[in-house]
Each structure stands twice: as C-alpha cells, then as structure tokens.
Structure 1
Amino acid sequence: MSLSPAFLDELRMRTTLSGVIGRHTKLQKAGREWKACCPFHKEKTPSFTVNDEKGFYHCFGCGAHGDAISYVTETRGLPFMDAVKELAEAAGMQMPAPDPQARERQERSSTLRDVMTAAADWYVEQLHGPAGAEARAYLEQRGLDAATQKAFGLGFAPDARGKLEEALKEFGRDKLIEAGLIAIPEDRGRSPYDRFRSRLMFPIRDQRGRVIAFSGRIIGDGKPKYLNSPDTPLFDKGRTIYNFDLASPASRDAKRIIVVEGQMDVIALHQAGFPEAVAPLGTALTEEQLTMLWRVDEAPILCFDGDAAGQKAAMRAVERALPAIKPERTLAFVSLPPGQDPDDVIKAGGTADLKRQFANPLSLDAFLWNYESTQIDARSPTARAKLKKRLADIAQGIGDPAMRDEFGREFRDRFWQAYGWKKKEVEFVRGAIAATSGRDRLQGLDLYIRAILLGLSRYPVVVKTRADQIQSLSVDESLLAKWRDLLVAAAFERPDLDADMIETILADADIEVAENRHLWRDLGFSFFYRRSDPEVAIRDLEAAIDTIARSQELEANLESVRAALEHAADSDDFEGVWNRESERRRQLMAEKQRLHDELELLGEAAA
C-alpha cells in the first residue's frame, strides 16, 4: 500500500506529538515546548525537546530528530506502515483503501492471524487440561509462576496427529497448512499431521503483540529439543525476535536490551525482574535482527554461556555486526559461568550479580580481545603473529572509518601490553616518571629534557631520525637518562614502535602523554596535545631538541671561558686575553638568552 503525502501530513497534524511521547517519557513544560531526558540515549540533564506546533522532536545531546511516525518506529521497532496504522487509529482516521492485490494479501494475513490466535488459545487450554499434566510439572520444576505463564501465553500441544485440525476445523486444512500448524509428510500417501506434538508451546509474536508463529519444546524424550514454525506469510525467522513486543517498551525504562540464547532464558530473566530480555529463534543473530535491536538500544547486551559454544555464538553475531558498527551502533557482552543459563544463575542466588554485570557489561573491543587472545598459545611467536593479524583483520572489517581506526589502535595497545614490553621495563618507566615528577627534583634544562622525553613518547619517529643527537644530550638526572636510553633502544629494537605502544607503556605508569599534563611541572609544547597538527608538533619537538643541544654546547663553552678568565692573570697578555674572553662570554650569554627565548616561544614555562 502506498500512502499519499497529503494523508501523512493530515495524520501528523491530527497527532499531538507530546501525547505520543508522553505515554512513555516524562515531559516537562518549557515555554512553548516540552523537555525531557532523551529516550534514545542515557543522560541526566534533559536535552530532548518536543515541539507540538512544528510537530517534531530533537535531542541536542545525541542528535535524534523526527516526527510522531519516526518516534513510534524508532522506540518500538514497528515497521513504518504499522506505525502509521496505529497513529491513524488513535487519530480517528481511516487508512486509504489498498489496491486489489494488497487488499487480498491483507485479508489473507488477517485470516492467518485469526488461525494463529485460535491455535494459541487452544494450546493454553490443553496446558491446563488433563493432557498438560507433564508440561505443568515441568513448568513448576522450572519455577515459572502463573503470572509469567500467562504473560508469555504458554501452552501445550498434545501427542496426537489430528487434534488441532479437529479443534480448528472452521478454518479448513489449507489455512492450517499455510500457517505452519499442520505438516505434509514426504510420503504423499500419508495424511497431514499436527506439526507440534507433545511440546510445551511458546507463542512467537510480532512487534504489535500478535501471534505469528510458535516454538515448541519437547516434553519427555524426542528430537529436536526445540521446533519452530516454518516461514509463512506471517513469519520470517530471520526478521523476528522472541519477546520483542514486551521487551521493547521495557528497554526504555531499563535503558538497555538483553539478548539471550533461548525462550526459557528470556522468561527466567523476565520473572527475575529483567523484562527487557529477548532471544533469536535458534540461529545466530541476523543483520535484520541487529537492526531491530539497534533501534531501541545503541549497545544491546549479548548474554550467552561462558563455555566455548556460547562464546562462538556471540562471535558469530559479532562477525555479522562488524560491517554496521558505528559509534551509535555497537554491542556489549555479559558471560555466564560455563554450562549455566540465566535460570541456573538466578536459582543459585545470582540475581544481584546479574544486575551488576548488566549494569557494567564488557565492551565490544574487550570481548574481541578476550575471545581472540584465548584462542592461541601465547608462548609461540607464530601464534602471536597470527593473533596480531587476526585483530588487524577484525578492525578492518568495521565499516565506519572512525570506529575502524579506534579499534585498530585499541587492539595494538592491548597486544603491546600483553606481549610487547617486558615487565621490568614497564616497572622502570613507572619509577622513572614518578621519581622525576616533582618540581623540586628537576632544575634548569632537566625540566626541558623531561618535556622532550614526553614529546618523544608521543612521536617516536623522531627518536629514529635524531637518535645520535638525543643520545648525546647531557642529562644530570640519572633516571631521566635511563628513560632516554630506554626510548632510543626501543625505537631500534622494535621497527614497528609507534605512539600507541609508547602511550600504553606510559598509561601503565599512570601518566597520559597529553591529557594529564601538569601545568606547573611540564611545559606547554605543541607535542603535548593530541589535537596538534603532527607536522607542527614534530617540527617543534625537533626544534626543542636542537635548542637544548645547542644550550648544552653553550654551557660547555661558557665553562671554558670561565677557566680562561681565571687564568688570565698568568698570561703575559693579560689585557688582551681578558678582553677577548669577556667578549666571547658576552656573545655566548647573548646566544644563551636567545635560545632561552626560543624555548619560551616553543612552550610556555610553568609558573
């Protein structure tokens, strides 16, 4: 069905936007607008505005913007047409008449929905009748109370080949087959039979809460353990998420959505106070399901078993998600103990622990590092090389350029922390920085030497191009000298040494090269700032090295002048020696002042 712009404009005009948003978000009047904490991202200070006159909302924090239709589609995950139908019904508007083919499809779908609703009601009756005794015992053993069973519409399919067809005979066999409730045997000589038999039945609902399929768990012996409806005109397994209709509004209050492995996991979490849980339907998350999840949460939490199978399932979801990862579209992770599902954890008294983990899930980069690094023998250089390449390939698989660069940098940092620096070297750098951090420990040029070392730590390429000059610098403070030697050695021992590796070392030593600069301890050189133009920063760093090196030469020359003046009285040409050395001293002091001025131009000396 196509909708005219005139119809959509009329719908927007008749819909009070604050009324739609105010059903789920607390709004406060602010002049001619409304304000609230944004429902699309976590915030404490309201930056979300609603303007009824103009018919749009806007968040100045995350940039979310749209009208009533987009609000319903984004917050509840409804398709565009379903959102329009819901708003039109609330506004008292009739939807435009569909074309004949669309009308036929709609009538067909409506009939199938009637079939599915009737089947769901019948399964519930069977669960509470004589045939459902064993299924009821199973639910009692799992600890599911009556309210939870009702909320999820749980039922039971008895072990009989034709009971459902007999109960729903008013719809006819063809409709039951089309709805996926009756299966046709491969042997055409045999009669069709009930697809679900001797199974606990979980209705699968669409985003509007209508039953469109079923999943059945075997009661007693038999395979498969879970059986889902086949794809039908109502049901596409790869585009449907179990419990999304209930979890989507609950996720707005919880500010998260949790993805678990199966229906029983969802129900156990719901009963334990986590109604924002959903599950795929027996397969890894698809691109379409990920898109649905991202509409309600920018970082859905994947909560899978901590065993190898659970981690592989999480990794399959990650591989599908990577091309679409963006700053506002990522994943988070909570791992359960191996061999345990959420119900096991809850029954063992782990609800509080789950709450803490859901509040602080593992980030995507941390999950990837943990997963990949545990797949190798860390003692093998070949295995480490494979890990490094694998991590680089993962980063390259991210579609968003900014996220691709940041993940690549993060992986290099973690790799360097784990394998790229000896523990004793890290401890030495920590000690060197701590021992030279006080103003009283460093005097004169040593303050500038420390500044240069911090600059070299951000731009190690300069160490390679100026190694001889850096090595020849005279450093009175012994720890600074060792720090300098360590950087020079690292630059030549590790040809791939880069700023990320050095910054990781300094981070281990509780110092940030740029951001945590101490205003009275350090100097304001451009190479302290991450935002500086690298060409300018490197130019300034090289100039500072040149200036310090020349200053140290001047100090040596001034020392020789002082010695000459002391011995001038012993010379036959006392006056001549005194005049020459005095002039030389004047020139050297003038140059020293000029170099000092240059340093002050390069970086503001601390007060």
Structure 2
Amino acid sequence: MPDQIEEVKRKLDIVEVVSSYFPLQKSGKNYKAVCPFHSEKTPSFMVSPQLQIFKCFGCGEGGDVISFYGKMEGVAFGEALKEMAKRAGVKLISRKESPQEQQQEKIHGINRLAADYFHFLITEHKIGSVAKDFLKSRGVKEETIEEFSLGYAPSSWDSLGRYLLKKGYSLTDILQSGLAVRKEGGRGYFDFFRGRVMFPLRSSLGKVAGFAGRTLGDDQPKYINTVDTPVFEKGRYLFNLDLAKTEIKKKKEVILVEGEMDALVLFQEGIRNVVATKGTALGSFQIGTLAKFARRLVICFDRDAAGWEATKKGLLLAQSVGMEVAAVLLPEGKDPDEAVLVDRAAFEKLVNSAPPLFDFYLDSALSRSDPATPSGKKAVAAEILPVLKSLANEVEKAAYLARLAEALKIEEDVLWRQLEKEEPLEAGGSPSPAVSLPPRAPASKKELYLLALIFALPAERVPPVVRRITDGDLTDLRLAAIIPALRNYLKSTRRFRLENFSAKLDENFREALQEAVLAPFLGELSAPQLEEEFGLALQSVKLARLQRERKELVSQIRGAEKGKDALGVRRLQKELLKLNEKIELIQIHHGNNA
C-alpha cells in the first residue's frame, strides 16, 4: 500500500489539483494563494511543485496532494486516497482502515440506514402522510422529495433507535452518530429527531453526514441539527453543496439562503446554484469552500436584522478574500422559497440586480442613525468603516469611501485617517499576518531565511554557497542538521536535485527542509539577486552567532573578575578583542551592502 500511495502522488501534480479549487500565483519556484483553511488577507499558503507539498505559514496546515484533497473535501485519509487514486488512474489494493476510519464508516452506514428509514416513512407509510402534506403545502413536489431523499421522523420516543439496534448496530455507535440521546441519569435513550421533516445532510462527496429536522408547525426551534460527530461539524457544513457545486462552478456565482426549505425549493424551481447555511452564522471554512467555486456571493435572507448581523463577519470575510458580495432584500414577510414560487422571474431579477453589500449596510446604518448630527455621523462611520476595511480591491474601497463621505457630509481625508485606525471584521479569529523577515528577526527566522535562499537558487549555484556556511553558524538544531546532510549529498552527486535530497534526508529534519523550501519570504528575485541576498543573510546569521559568543565571553570575564582570576581575565579579554574586531568587520561590510 505505501508503494501505491507514492504512485498516486507521483502521477498527480499538486499544483494542478490545488488550481482546480482556487487560483495560484507564481512566487519564485513556488506558488502562493490566500489560505482556504483560515481567515487571512495576505497570501501565506504556499505550494512547491518540486516537493509536491503545500504549507500555510499562517495556520500551519500542510501536507501532500492527498491530504490537501481530504482537507478541502472534509473527508478522512482513506476516502481522499480512493478519490485521488481514481483521478490518477491507480487501482488500489485494499488496505486496513484505521480505527478512526472504521468508526467514521460505521457512522456513515448508520446515517444511510436512518435516511432510508425516514424516507420510507414519508413515501410509503401512512404515518408519514402528515409530513408529505406539509411539504406539499410549501410547494415541494414529489420528485423533489425523491431527489433530496426527504423523510419523516415519527413522534414516538425510540422507533429509530429500535430499528437500528435490530439492524445490528450497538447503542454506543447509535449514540455517537447523534441520532439517539441518553436519558438523564444514563439509563435508557430516546431518539434525537421526533415529529419532524428530515433533511439528509450530505458531504460534498454525497455521503450522509448528518440530518436537519424541521417542525411541521411553528414550534421552536424550527430546525434542529445533528450534533457534531466524527463525520459532521455544523460550522463547516453547507446544505445542498453536493448537488449545487456543478452549477456554482459554471456560473461562478452562489446564492446563499438561510434554511434547507429555501434551498431545495429554489433548486426545484431551476435555480440550481443555491446552498443554505446551518443557522445564520457564516464561518471561515464555509467561506473558503464557496470561494473555491464562485466569484460572486449573493446572500438572500429575510429582513430579520439579527440574521444579517449574525452573518456580517462571514460576509466581510468573503469580501476580504476577493469575492463580490451582493445582498437581496425580499418583500416584507417573504421567505426566498415563497418569493420563487410566486414569481421566479421577479426573484431572479432581484438576484441579478442585487446591490453590493456596502449599499445594504450603508442604507441600514443610515436608517438607524441621523447623519445630520455629530453622534449620528460617528455611529454610521463606526458601522461602515470596518466594511470598507475588509474590501480587497483598493479602487472599490476608494469609491465607496467617497460615497460614505458624501452621505455624512464629511471630508474624505477625515474618513481615510479614521479608516487607517479601524480593524477589519473577520470570521474565525484575527487574520494571520504574512510571514516576513523583519530587520531584528529571531535567530531561527534568520536561519530559515538563509536556507530558503539556498533552495531558491539555481541548482548549479547551491554547492558554492553551501561551502560558505561554517559549522556553528546555525543554532536552530533542525535547520543546522540540514547543512552537513546537504554537504554529504553534494559529494555524491554531480547535480543538486531538491526532490532527491529531500527523499534521502532523515525524516526528523524533512519538515524543516519543507518549511525552508516553501517559506514565502522571497518574492520574485533573479538568480544574481538571490545570491547577493544570500551573502547579506549569511553575514546577518554570522553576526548573530558572534554576538552570542561575545555575550557569553562578557559573562565569563565577569565571573573571572569575581573569582579574582587575573590571568583568566586577560586571556578572555584578548579573545573578546578579537571577537569585537570580527564583529566590527562584518558590521562595516553589512552596512556597506545594506
């Protein structure tokens, strides 16, 4: 199996696979992009075509083409390997699944069986007629019930649990799937979903990961969802993505609605690029998923102000990663599914002409605060400036700021100064800064930069620059170990090949090598510029080493003075004098080249 895994990776190009999800930008020998796995504005996600790996220097995610696919699609390694093997044309010999994969597969099996059970009740059993009548009253057709495998969870306390137990699943597994809950005190259980229309929640690969259940009346909560399980995480899920993603890719546009009912009715009526959030909050993973497929995000919630406010950070994040975000305001009292059933053409017109998110929030802010008063101006600016801060395009930002200045009757310069002080609102925590090498970077970062420069150079220039590094220059043990290994490798080969060196390197140090290769420090430098930069970086590293040695010598001199060791003091002072001369020479040379 390890040989087959390597064959899959060898036959796939990680750059091609990553580019199928989002665009990559060339950066020296590597490629870079805004990371899809966390919130950021400056690209720190790097891909190496030489080593066929990726790494984000913001959130730390990294790996090969198989782990990238698994992370993007939210599937375990075994499932990712199967899909990548298909793409590579490699036939896999069956492998033993890990305990985690076995448990995930078991929960998927329970969910699949439960979905069939719920679906049977709504389509074949009289007990489900109440749910079918409810769906028909909401405009849901028979074929839609079939296409989405909708179902009904009966009101009885444990009918699903008993059915699953009869099918051979243990109560422990059923509880872990989230379909049953232990009673207080721990004795007995009851079904989690009761008396609800059931919506199977499928992964992007079509596996039933969990369920949403909707009441048949106005009981609250209207929707409940499967709790987080080994195969389902609410904050990472988008309903209908498995069916909608082909149309989303085609149109480069996604319509985002609040509930499952809205999404399936829109899909039924021919608007097939629609997904629904699980609740109104919108997280960075969901935005990253949508940004893979679409350039334009059209949000279509009802007029409930709380819903818009809850999703605000996610929408601003969508803007910050370069998505065009528009907002549809439906007629008072209408949900998207109702609006489409009344007049699909009118709804599509609203979507196509939806104003940018800025317009929605500006109108909303102006309706709550009087822009004629100082306090009103302050309130509107406080609400709108973070929206502007999140915009990725500077031209768009300037245009909107001019409109804000006009609305508030304030000079643009005043707003620009205030904008500089604002923090952009982002989902999933504060944005990760771009990795860079500041003038007074810690020793390990300087050393990482030095190695990054070596591996960015043309192959024929690697041996001569490596010879300029002496033992003791590097203090980071992971990085220092790479240099003698590199010297030994260069003795045994005529031409340096990074992928061969990586394969021969001890596994304990391979991660440090990958970090150096992918480090997003360099930008677009020519070979002579890289070599010149290497010289400066090496001086900086040597200077840092000598300064550490000087600090240690000064400490030894103080100790000798304290111990009244006159000979030792004189000897150490001579060493210090020589060391200071070396430091002065490097500082002069470094200053002349700065």
What is the TM-score when the length of structure 2 is the normalising length? Answer: 0.56
Distance 2:298 2:283 in 1: 15
Select 1:384's aligned residue among 374, 377, 381: 377
Distance 2:311 2:332 in 1: 19
Shift in CA distance, 166/73, structure 1 to aligned 2, threshold 3 Å: same
- Give matches, 1:58-207, under 5 Å: 81=77, 82-89=79-86, 91-94=89-92, 97=95, 103-128=98-123, 129-169=125-165, 170-189=168-187, 191-207=188-204
Q: 1:169-218 deviations in whole A, cap 9, x for unaligned?
A: 111211111101111122435x2011111111000111111101111112
SS of equivalent to 2:299 = strand
Query: Matched residues in 1 for 2:278 and 2:2: separation?
Result: 31
Computing the radius of gyration from Cα coordinates, the structure with the larger value is 1
Which residue in 1 is equivalent to 2:491? none
Correspondence list, 1:594-605, <5 A:
none
Pairing partner for 2:297 from 279, 300, 318: 300
Within 5 Å, which residues of 2 pair with 1:247-266? Answer: 247-266=244-263
Provide the rounded CA distance (Å) in 1 between the counterparts of 2:274 and 2:81. 26
* Equivalent of 1:331 in 311, 321, 325: 325
Q: Which residue of 2 aligns with 1:604?
A: none
Shift of 1:496: 5.1
Shift of 1:79: 5.8
Considering only aligned residues, what root-mean-square deviation do their CA atoms show, in Å? 4.0
Equivalent residue for 1:361?
354
Report the Cα distance in structure 1 between the residues aligned to 2:285 and 2:110, rounded to whole angstroms.
Answer: 26
Question: Is the Cα–Cα contact under 8 Å of residues 256 and 300 in structure 2 kept in the other structure?
Answer: yes
Asked if 1 retains the 8 angstrom alpha-carbon contact of 2:405 and 2:415, the reply is no
Query: Could you tell me which amino acid in structure 1 is paired with residue 286 of structure 2?
Result: Q
Report the residue type matching 1:10 in the other structure.
R
User: Map of 1:27-46 to 2, 5 A cutoff?
Assistant: none
Does residue 1:213 correspond to 2:210, yes or no? Answer: yes
SS in 2 for 1:200: strand
Q: 1:289 aligns with which of 270, 286, 289?
A: 286
CA distance in 2 between partners of 1:117 and 1:84 (Å): 22
Kindly tell me: are residues 80 and 301 of structure 1, through their superposed partners in 2, closer, same or farther at Cα, counting changes over 3 Å?
Answer: farther
Q: Matches of 1:384 and 1:316 in 2, distance apart?
A: 24
**1:416 counterpart SS class:** helix
Task: Evaluate the alpha carbon distance shift between residue 221 and residue 499 of structure 1 in structure 2; reply closer, same or farther with a 3 A threshold.
Answer: closer
Give the conservation status (yes or no) of the 8 Å contact 1:73–1:80. no
Q: Which amino acid aligns with 1:340?
A: K
Match of 1:412 in 2: 401
Deviation of residue 235 (structure 1)? 0.8
1:7 is displaced (CA, Å) by 3.1
SS at match of 2:198: strand
Q: Displacement, 1:162?
A: 1.8
Q: Give 1:413-562 correspondences, 5 Å limit.
A: 413-420=402-409
SS in structure 2 at match of 1:242: coil
* CA distance, structure 2, for counterparts of residue 168 and residue 411 of structure 1: 57
1:320 is aligned to 2:320: no
For 2:375, give the aligned amino acid: T
What SS does structure 2 have at the residue aligned with 1:233? coil
Cα deviation code 1:440-471 (max 9, x no counterpart)? xxxxxxxxxxxxxxxxxxxxxxxxxxxxxxxx
Unaligned 5+ segments in structure 2 are: 22-49, 53-63, 418-594
TM-superposed deviation, 1:390: 3.3
Partner of 1:11: 11
Would you say the 8 A contact 2:196–2:213 is kept in 1? yes
- Cα–Cα, structure 1 residues 252 and 412, in superposed 2: closer, same or farther, change >3 Å? closer
Query: How has the CA–CA distance of structure 1 residues 182 and 151 changed in structure 2, closer, same or farther, with 3 Å as cutoff?
Result: same
* Aligned residues of 1:85 and 1:95 also touching (Cα < 8 A): no
Distance in 2 between residues matched to 1:323 and 1:279, nearest whole Å: 17
Pick closer, same or farther for the CA change 1:143–1:221 going to 2, 3 Å: closer
- Between the aligned partners of 2:110 and 2:235, the Cα distance in structure 1 is 22
Structure 1 residue 145, shift from structure 2 partner: 1.1
1:139 is displaced (CA, Å) by: 1.3
Partner of residue 276, structure 1 = 273
Change (3 A) 1:155 1:5: closer
Question: Could you say what secondary structure the match of 1:383 adopts?
Answer: helix
- Larger mean CA deviation between 280-289 and 149-158 belongs to 280-289
Q: 1:297: how far off?
A: 0.8
Given that 2:257 and 2:300 are in contact with CA atoms closer than 8 Å, whether structure 1 keeps it comes out as yes
Q: 2:94, 2:102 → 1: CA distance?
A: 15
Report the residue type matching 2:145 in the other structure: Q
Bigger RCO (CA 8 Å, 6+ sep):
2
Q: Is the 8 A contact 1:299 1:329 kept in 2?
A: yes
Amino acid across the alignment from 1:318: K
Distance 1:363 1:495 in 2: 21
1:4 offset after TM fit, Å?
A: 9.0
Q: Percent sequence identity over matched residues?
A: 26
Amino acid at match of 2:323: R
Deviation at 1:355, TM superposition (A): 1.4
1:153–1:324 Cα change, 3 Å: closer
Deviation at 1:406, TM superposition (A): 4.4
SS of alignment partner, residue 171 of structure 1: coil
Conservation of the 8 A alpha-carbon contact between 2:8 and 2:90: no
> Would you say the 8 A contact 2:318–2:325 is kept in 1?
no
Q: State whether residues 287 and 320 of structure 1, in contact with CA within 8 Å, keep that contact through their aligned partners in structure 2.
A: yes
1:326 Cα deviation from its structure 2 partner: 3.6
